[in-house]
Chain A
Amino acid sequence: MESIKATRMEYLHLKRQLKTAQHGHKLLKDKRDGLMKRFMELIRQTKSQRKVLEEKLADSFKRFVLTTAFLHQKELEEIFLAPSAKVLVAVEQENVMSVWIPKFQHKIEGDFKTYSDFSAPLGLRSVLLSFWDSLELMLQLAAQEHSARLLSFEIEKTRRRVNALEYVIIPQVKRKIKYISSKLDEHERSEKIIRMKIKALLES
């Protein structure tokens, strides 16, 4: 406290600072609320979709492993040597409260059949079909979950800033202002007393 210069200039400066801090605090709080709203929407969707996908994929994986269990690694690699299907992804970015959220546009081309029916196990087709089905959901979920992750980083940052302003910066500045204003008042009173004393001396 003693390091503060109790001058009128400093006082005005601090007052301006307080106003800015309060304004910033309000803005950041609004930003946090906006982010939170979007985040909750995303999380809700993600949660329910994730459940669906998990069941689907776990089942597909299990079936895939069982169908190809008797094949050697090299044989399996050979089956999938020349894939004709292609997944093309274009990324667009959307700005939500200063966070850039990716949006994927994907296009699936070609066919997943890369093998001859004679050399590959018969069950493979149905397994690949189920993977093929879940691919769309997987991409969608990836975008959503990643957006939620990016938002969460921003929310954390914003919340820290809001708290720092609310509990540290603003009280500090307020205390300083109070200190200076009481010092100035004190000064004024003592000045007044001195003047009264001088006047009394002159008159006597």
Chain B
Amino acid sequence: MKIGIIGEKKSVLAFQALGIQTFGVSNESDLNITLQQIREGDFAVIFVTEDMMQKYGQEIELLMRGALPAVLVVPGVSGVGEKGRESLKRIMERALGSDTLVADP
């Protein structure tokens, strides 16, 4: 199975050298094509940079619901933002009913 990364065109290219399939996305139609390819392809893990999550959060979240691929939000060029932690927070909220119970384990 393959691994992919969705992010800003220029910055994700580095991962191409590591043998990861890169999807450079700069507008909505790019994203739709990318998501289509991911659904059809045999992907185990998809990395998504935070700036992509910021822009197209809703569409990408649909991808997260299935058993595979495993989607991970990673920090992008713009540095560590809130989006990555937010996805973790959402998971905890869903499981515990509130986020206050596990402020800092």
* Chain A residues near B (Cβ < 8 Å): 36, 39-40, 43-44, 46-47, 50, 53-55, 57-58, 60-62, 64-65, 68, 73, 76-77, 80, 83-91, 93, 100, 102, 104, 108-110, 112-114, 127-128, 131-132, 135, 138-139, 141-143, 145-146, 148-153, 155-156, 159
Contact = CB atoms under 8 A, between A and B. Distances in A.
A131 B68 contact: no
Majority SS at the chain B contact face:
mixed
B95 A55 contact: no
Contacts of B68: 91, 102
Given A58-B80, A83-B19, A138-B74, A156 B94 contact: yes
Contact of A73 (B1, B9, B14, B76): B9
Contacts of A86: 19
B11 interface: yes
Interface of B: 1-3, 9-11, 13-20, 44-45, 47, 64-65, 67-68, 70-72, 74-77, 79-80, 84-85, 87-88, 91-92, 94-95, 97, 102, 105
A138 B47 contact: yes
A187 B44 CA distance: 67
Contacts of B2: 87, 89
B11 A148 contact: no
A150 B67 contact: yes
Closest 4 CB pairs of A and B: A146-B70, A142-B72, A85-B19, A152-B95
